[in-house]
């Protein structure tokens, strides 16, 4: 497979997942700010921008939820925003048009054509719900109508790395804000994990178990450990059988180190230093992405228009 095609497939998976997860994170925060009249909106908004690695306006300027939604949701020119991610996913699909199925192309193209209208016409909560629905359609097409060859592995690799990174950011919001944060139950709902969590623990719900579920439940696909495990499987299947060393191994090493810590450390120890651990997860995902680029995309790096963000 040409390196430019592989790179585009990888970024389709990342950008669609980025739009989905950003919608989930923003939905939690915007809803909390709308419902809590005592919330410190300025502080919460600046904390959210910091978590999403987005530069904040000067401290003397007013920062409210409307500006945050515009910056992180509606900005078509920002590849880290929801709208920008969906535009970028479609452009990568165009670059890989000879590989991407017609069904997936039409889905991404339609989503890109509708996103600017939906972002302005719908209230934030409804727009975020629309984004999650479109991302679910893309994921369904990827999982049900794509052969399990390199095409699928690159898209799944991108999706899994992005998912681990973004779930770590979502967990960080609660870890940093503490009692002022949205709460673990709200975070579970934002990931679509609440019912799965209740079934897993048969109603014995508490904050520690909820945090542990998002961190390292092996069966729930949006947990960090599950996402890292799927990324490792994709890397293993992409690596040629005769390759004993290389950047592919480096990517697996980066993800494997942090996954092992999450899986085998005591939960109490993880929760005591949660922001630090989540920062290591994000750094591991970034380093793994760099290793994948070096191994598979280096030939396309000078010609790719896609700029990395987050």
Rounded to whole angstroms, the Cα distance separating 108 from 16 reads: 9
Same domain, 127 and 164: no
Higher per-residue confidence, 246 vs 100: 100
Asked which of 90, 118, 146 is the last residue of a domain, the reply is: 146
The reply to whether 306 falls in a domain is no
Higher per-residue confidence, 141 vs 33: 141
Higher per-residue confidence, 107 vs 203: 107
- Position 304 pLDDT exceeds 50: no
- Residue 232 near residue 255 (C-beta atoms within 8 A): yes
Least confident piece of the model among 2-6, 122-126, 181-185: 181-185
- Position 48 pLDDT exceeds 90: no
pLDDT-derived band at 242 (thresholds 50, 70, 90) equals very low
Q: Mean pLDDT over residues 81-85, rounded?
A: 96
- Give the length of the chain: 310
Same domain, 174 and 86: no
Q: What percent of the chain has pLDDT over 90?
A: 59
- Cα distances (angstroms) measured from residue 38 to each of 34, 35, 42, 43, 195: 10, 9, 12, 12, 29
Q: What is the pLDDT of residue 229?
A: 97
Q: What is the pLDDT of residue 285?
A: 96
The reply to whether 310 falls in a domain is no
Least confident piece of the model among 98-102, 168-172, 220-224, 266-270: 168-172
Higher per-residue confidence, 232 vs 51: 232
Same domain, 297 and 176: yes
Q: Mean pLDDT over residues 118-135, rounded?
A: 95
- Cα distances (angstroms) measured from residue 227 to each of 48, 240, 308: 23, 22, 20
Give the DSSP per-residue string, 237-295.
HHS-TT--SSHHHHHHHHHHHHHHHHHHS-HHHHHHTHHHHHHHHHHHHHHHHHHHIII
Same domain, 74 and 85: yes
Q: What is the pLDDT of residue 2?
A: 85
pLDDT-derived band at 184 (thresholds 50, 70, 90) equals confident
Q: What is the mean pLDDT of the chain?
A: 87
Same domain, 15 and 131: yes
- Position 215 pLDDT exceeds 70: yes
Higher per-residue confidence, 32 vs 97: 97
Same domain, 56 and 164: no
- Position 145 pLDDT exceeds 50: yes
Same domain, 39 and 100: yes
Q: Where are the beta strands (DSSP E) in 61-218?
A: none
Same domain, 75 and 25: yes
pLDDT-derived band at 202 (thresholds 50, 70, 90) equals confident
Q: Residue 78's domain spans which residues?
A: 1-146
DSSP 41: H
Handedness of CA 276, 277, 282, 283 (dihedral sign): positive
Least confident piece of the model among 80-84, 211-215, 242-246: 242-246
Q: What is the pLDDT of residue 28?
A: 83
Same domain, 284 and 152: yes
Same domain, 201 and 104: no
Asked which of 121, 146, 171 is the last residue of a domain, the reply is: 146
Nearest Cα neighbor of 25 from 222, 308, 225 is 222
- Position 277 pLDDT exceeds 70: yes
Higher per-residue confidence, 75 vs 243: 75
Q: Mean pLDDT over residues 2-8, rounded?
A: 92
Asked which of 111, 146, 181 is the last residue of a domain, the reply is: 146
Rounded to whole angstroms, the Cα distance separating 4 from 91 reads: 13
- Position 251 pLDDT exceeds 60: yes
- Position 302 pLDDT exceeds 50: no
Q: What is the pLDDT of residue 307?
A: 47
The reply to whether 253 falls in a domain is yes
The reply to whether 308 falls in a domain is no
Total domains in the fold of the chain: 2
Q: Give the distance, in angstroms, between the CA of residue 39 and the centroid of all CA atoms in the same chain.
A: 26
Crossing angle for the helix pair 150-177 and 207-216, to the nearest 10 degrees: 150
Q: What is the pLDDT of residue 15?
A: 97
Rounded to whole angstroms, the Cα distance separating 301 from 85 reads: 19
Instruction: Dump pLDDT digits (tens) for 156-172.
Output: 999 999 999 999 988 88
- Position 247 pLDDT exceeds 60: no
Same domain, 133 and 52: yes
The reply to whether 111 falls in a domain is yes
Q: What is the pLDDT of residue 308?
A: 53
């Amino acid at each position: 497979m040409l390196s430019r095609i592989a790179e585009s497939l990888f970024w389709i998976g990342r950008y669609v997942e980025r739009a989905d997860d950003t919608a989930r994170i923003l939905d939690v925060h915007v809803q909390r700010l709308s419902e809590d009249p005592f919330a410190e909106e300025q502080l919460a908004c600046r904390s959210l921008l910091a978590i999403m690695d987005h530069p904040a306006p000067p401290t003397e300027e007013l920062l409210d939820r409307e500006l945050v939604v515009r910056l992180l949701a509606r900005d078509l020119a920002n590849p880290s925003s929801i709208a920008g991610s969906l535009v970028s996913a479609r452009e990568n699909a165009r670059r890989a048009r000879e590989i991407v199925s017609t069904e997936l192309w039409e889905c991404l193209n339609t989503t890109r054509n509708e996103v600017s209208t939906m972002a302005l016409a719908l209230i934030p909560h409804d727009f975020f719900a629309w984004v999650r629905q479109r991302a679910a359609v893309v994921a369904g097409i990827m999982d049900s109508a794509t052969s399990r060859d390199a095409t699928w592995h690159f898209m799944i690799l991108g999706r899994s790395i992005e998912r681990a990174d973004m779930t770590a950011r979502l967990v960080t919001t609660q870890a940093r804000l503490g009692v002022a944060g949205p709460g673990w139950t709200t975070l579970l709902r934002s990931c679509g994990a609440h019912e799965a969590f209740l079934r897993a623990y048969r109603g014995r719900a508490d904050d520690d178990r909820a945090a542990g579920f998002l961190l390292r439940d092996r069966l729930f696909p949006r947990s960090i450990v599950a996402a890292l495990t799927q990324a490792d499987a994709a890397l293993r299947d992409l690596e040629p059988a005769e390759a004993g060393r290389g950047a592919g191994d480096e990517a697996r090493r980066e993800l494997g180190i942090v996954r092992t810590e999450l899986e085998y450390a005591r939960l109490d120890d993880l929760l005591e230093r949660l922001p630090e651990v989540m920062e290591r997860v994000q750094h591991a995902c970034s380093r793994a992405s760099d290793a994948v680029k070096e191994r598979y995309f280096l030939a396309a790096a000078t010609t790719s228009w896609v700029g990395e963000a987050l």
